Structure 1
């Protein structure tokens, strides 16, 4: 079947040409302008010899040009490769070398970095710079070369299985892998998100997560745009700026990782509530948001519609979520989007399927329209992560009595202490209920008797909190005893984060090994 996601946006623009599609800073693009610039970028790519199936790299933070770059790449039949700005030089070079882009779009401030990191690679010799200093950045072309091109009306047809995107995993536990996202898998995930949240042209999104992650792109930006709504992009995360923009533009849909919600709650503490009453969907994903920080966030913002969501790069964004209004508090992952994924739970040790009706913990495995067909040029990774057509997510879950999924832990993060399984996220949730705790991460560290011990890394909510205070809280909490009790407690001023503002547990394990 011939399908190209850019055609969907062209049809939306035909219905709503003068409506605002994208905002950034003080600038705006209507849908008609978005399509025009996308067609100019497609024409530019054609003029410099980009063929259908070629990769176009993008190394730039959220900006006004971000979405025209993406859509224009699709119009040309090429594959967009948004590189992660937060990874070190080694993984970045690997991603560029592995994807072998025919051209890289680079923010003007990062051209020298890309030329240095990618020295000797094809992409380093074909750079298009974007930004106010593009003309002096030392690139081959500038955005002026794009916007002076005549529009290319043709949209190159693509098949269902043709890649639309390659998104590289963070590589925190190994070499980054390029996740293949086809026009079909991305389209299915976007359609399911629109359907699940009832998105329409009346919706608007405030996007504070980077578009090189599915959370920023396929969870929120593309569904809102393809429903005919508007998207306001932030260049980088700042809790006060986020509140200010939410007050100004009254979004109906926002998406955060738990750290961001905690940032807002902490920064707004002691001030009048922001009263962001326009928000009807506040999706929180990446890990669970404990009840204590959740209540502080709700008090600080007035947002009552906070729901847990679950998705992976390999599942093209949203794959399971709580339904709006279903639970009084976000207490679980909700239910899978069964219109695009089939799922099962499998015992990670025996590989036997967890029986229906059981509350046993198992690995969540999926297959379906929204699931990647595999990794780019990695048959070894495909053999490891796919079993008889099922994708092994590496996430441990169980089914609650009400039929909703409850996230337990990443298989890699599970602590085995004294031969017993301890699930760090559960311990984190208990610790987060302490008024002395602003943020917490729990990891396993070596222990001469127990092999691994539960270690709590604590950011205090106020001055004067000591290790003894946290230990006393644990002694009094009924769920923080036995092997779940943190035997090691470390106080830190802040927790390391990934580029998507998740807590960087691999880094913590290196710090406290």
Structure 2
């Protein structure tokens, strides 16, 4: 087995054989309380254009929210849904629930009313935090009996088909991910950091891998109420941000702003990305533009409480198509791997994996088998331990008996100059069953040369994987509320022209 590039000390196996960190805090409440006691006057939260909140103030406000929830009749184990925009109130609502022993249900604010109602009904939420309404307020309260395996939150997935599923996330899972963040990014947990949250807090990336680890180490979480590239750049400089996490497209957009050349980013020490393929050339640009930062690619799912694998700085440019190595408390293996390609379904086990889906025993039984999460992702694992995601099982193209993994083709196209977004899907064909089609959105002001793009792909991937159909559009690719590309919609709406070859 390949050795891990991460710190694996103080890791043990639980009774079921899964890896976990030893001696985590008892709960999120205990974690926050420790930070409050260390430095009550330190800055915990900053809302861009809004309030600044110290650790002592955060605790006091959350305790009053907890008291307000109790006054409304909510008991430990009850659920409360947070339907609030990004801001300090979101965090106060989150920890108000935690201190009351109430299970948090973060709601995607991009959901339709029908989808929101489904989440509220499915979770059995007894209270919904809504924008424009004051947070519950009551006598300060903090539950003292919370345990690591108590349910802390139910994060709803946002798949591309069907209704979302609620991932039952324990305090232990969230605290495990905090420790994972410190280890894979190589952050000294004793030195407070400043992170900029530019994605919605209802996402596990923002909540689990930015907000909570930063609070755990006594750092400052700077929150953007809404994304704006100019405000993003201003906040990096004005707030002396040293830890950045966002998607590759935002980084490309940022470094291509005219004012970036005059921006002081010398204080940025960590720069992580994920959620979409990244071109090796962009990785090299990020290393150049942020010379003091360690860059890296994170991969995970709602079911893995954010980080499952991470590609560290030393491997980032040479292996840009990889999602990295398993985190210190995660193990990976492949199910039914193809002897020829080494590709199989990625299974994951470890301290970050949630216990199952809320109110869905059949889906839980299908996805969580003998402690292993069946991700539905097709992957291969290199001899050095690097994990490569090649497709979703349901998205694989069967071209005349040859399997074509869409992510592999998307990675090749993403590396071609001028590509902003790409989605690869199967195009029905009477003889072959399916052929490879690519929907490409060019960067603003760029024109794509189809012949050059095909030639580039031929130099990167096998001939049978090279797209035979190309659809170029100016409009962004359709996405669901969590930002995942809606390939079923593309299959229905894209009008393919003549085959390229």
Which TM-score tier does this pair reach, normalised by the shorter chain? 0.7 to 0.9
Number of the residue aligned with 1:112: none
Matched, 1:470 2:453: no
In structure 2, distance between residues paired with 1:209 and 1:232: 11
Deviations 1:349-379 (A, max 9, x none): 8xxxx8xxx9712222122221111100101
Aligned counterparts, 1:216-295, within 5 A: 216-265=206-255, 267-268=256-257, 272=261, 274-295=263-284
Greater RCO between the two (CA within 8 Å, min separation 6)? 2
Number of the residue aligned with 2:301: 312
Provide TM-score, normalisation by structure 1.
0.84
Matched, 1:196 2:196: no
Matched, 1:87 2:111: yes
- Could you say if the C-alpha distance between residues 262 and 444 of structure 1 is closer, same or farther in structure 2, counting changes exceeding 3 Å? farther
- Could you say if the C-alpha distance between residues 236 and 451 of structure 1 is closer, same or farther in structure 2, counting changes exceeding 3 Å? farther
Deviations 1:213-234 (A, max 9, x none): 1111001110111011110011
* Runs (5+) with no aligned partner, structure 1: 109-128, 130-141
Contact 2:418–2:446 (Cα < 8 Å) also in 1: no
In structure 2, distance between residues paired with 1:426 and 1:49: 52
In structure 2, distance between residues paired with 1:388 and 1:371: 12
In structure 2, distance between residues paired with 1:360 and 1:269: 45
Contact 1:364–1:396 (Cα < 8 Å) also in 2: yes
Give the deviation of 1:302 after TM superposition: 5.4
Contact 2:297–2:324 (Cα < 8 Å) also in 1: yes
Matched, 1:43 2:32: no
In structure 1, distance between residues paired with 2:266 and 2:260: 17
Residues matched between the structures, number: 466
Contact 1:281–1:324 (Cα < 8 Å) also in 2: no
Q: Which moved more, 1:174-183 or 1:290-299?
A: 290-299
Number of the residue aligned with 2:464: 483
Q: Given the alignment, which residue of 152, 158, 170 partners 2:146?
A: 158
- Could you say if the C-alpha distance between residues 342 and 297 of structure 1 is closer, same or farther in structure 2, counting changes exceeding 3 Å? closer
Deviations 1:2-41 (A, max 9, x none): 9331111011110011110000023100000010101111
Number of the residue aligned with 2:499: none
In structure 2, distance between residues paired with 1:23 and 1:309: 25
Aligned counterparts, 1:398-409, within 5 A: 398-409=380-391
Number of the residue aligned with 2:3: none
Number of the residue aligned with 1:321: 310
Deviations 1:101-130 (A, max 9, x none): 11100112xxxxxxxxxxxxxxxxxxxx2x
- Could you say if the C-alpha distance between residues 333 and 454 of structure 1 is closer, same or farther in structure 2, counting changes exceeding 3 Å? same
- What do you get for the CA RMSD once the two structures are aligned? 2.5
Matched, 1:178 2:166: yes
Q: Given the alignment, which residue of 394, 411, 414 partners 1:429?
A: 411
